[in-house]
Amino acid sequence: MRLQGKVAIVTGAGSGFGEGIARTFAREGAAVIVNDLNRAAGERVAAQIAETGGRAAFVYGDVSREEDHVTLLDEAVSRFGHLDIVVNNAGTTHRNKPLLEVTEAEFDRVYAVNVKGIFWSARTVMPYFVQRGAGVMINIASTAGVRPRPGLVWYNGSKGAVITASKAMAAEFGPHNIRVNCVNPVIGDTGLTAEFMGVPNTPENRAKFLAGIPLGRFSTPQDIANACLYLASDEAAFITGVCLEVDGGRCI
């Protein structure tokens, strides 16, 4: 078990990549705070982890709100004793469309969740990690942050901000034995796929996106979870400030 004795928060863990990360962490021995805005989805994931012998608790929260991060940290410590790992996975996008059609409300929502969510996470957990003398933060960015394409301009920009802020946090908090890394998934089959494509998730529409991925398939929650597992584990003790593309070669 690669995370035996560790405690992790996974945001947006009610579906998609976050669900895969939460299940994998629990299977590897971590106690997991399963966070989501969608109560039914998050409760389902936490219950299924518990049914298979893992340790998990659902904690409702909107990552764009400071007080919800405080609750996540409090719940991790009160239920499981301490906190070792935060995976900032919750994210959203505007639909794939021309820049001039993206509204202010869509822009604000994307930045509130994808960027400000990590601002609040850092403001909440870094003082705790500094006091403890150790901590791991993993931020789920995207290939969109390093290889942007038309139609997702402000989503691309939000993930670029996540990548740069993660590297800067790695530099600032390294002396406190806190590691900060990113995982950059290529398009996968999740709740956001149709929004990313801007068209229905049909085989014909997927073909265009598949053509740009040398390994010839979309990413899966297990692909992303496996990368997070490595970065969260002590095997990655000397890895910080890295943005790991999990993309089947998309960014080559």
Ligand X SMILES: NC(=O)c1ccc[n+]([C@@H]2O[C@H](COP(=O)([O-])OP(=O)(O)OC[C@H]3O[C@@H](n4cnc5c(N)ncnc54)[C@H](O)[C@@H]3O)[C@@H](O)[C@H]2O)c1
Beta strands in 20-103 (DSSP E): 31-36, 55-60, 85-88
Buried b (16+ CB within 10 A) or exposed e, 179-189: bbbbbbbbbbe
Cα separation of 43 and 148, whole Å? 34
- 190 forms part of the interface with ligand X (CB under 6 A): yes
Q: Is the sign of the CA dihedral 147, 208, 221, 248 positive or negative?
A: negative
Stretches 69-77, 84-92, 130-138, 174-182: which one binds ligand X (CB under 6 A)?
A: 84-92
Stretches 2-10, 35-43, 96-104, 122-130: which one binds ligand X (CB under 6 A)?
A: 35-43
- 15 forms part of the interface with ligand X (CB under 6 A): yes
- 46 forms part of the interface with ligand X (CB under 6 A): no
Subset of 121-150 contacting ligand X (CB under 6 A): 140, 142
Instruction: State the Cα torsion 240-243-249-252 to the nearest 10°.
Output: -110
Stretches 49-57, 90-98, 118-126, 236-244: which one binds ligand X (CB under 6 A)?
A: 90-98
Cα separation of 22 and 44, whole Å? 12
- 196 forms part of the interface with ligand X (CB under 6 A): yes
- 71 forms part of the interface with ligand X (CB under 6 A): no
Nearest CA-CA partner of 151 in 94, 196, 96, 102: 96
- 156 forms part of the interface with ligand X (CB under 6 A): no
Shortest Cβ 12–ligand X spacing (Å) = 3
Contacting positions for ligand X (CB under 6 A): 11-12, 14-18, 35-38, 41, 61-64, 89-92, 113, 140, 142, 185, 187-188, 190-193, 196
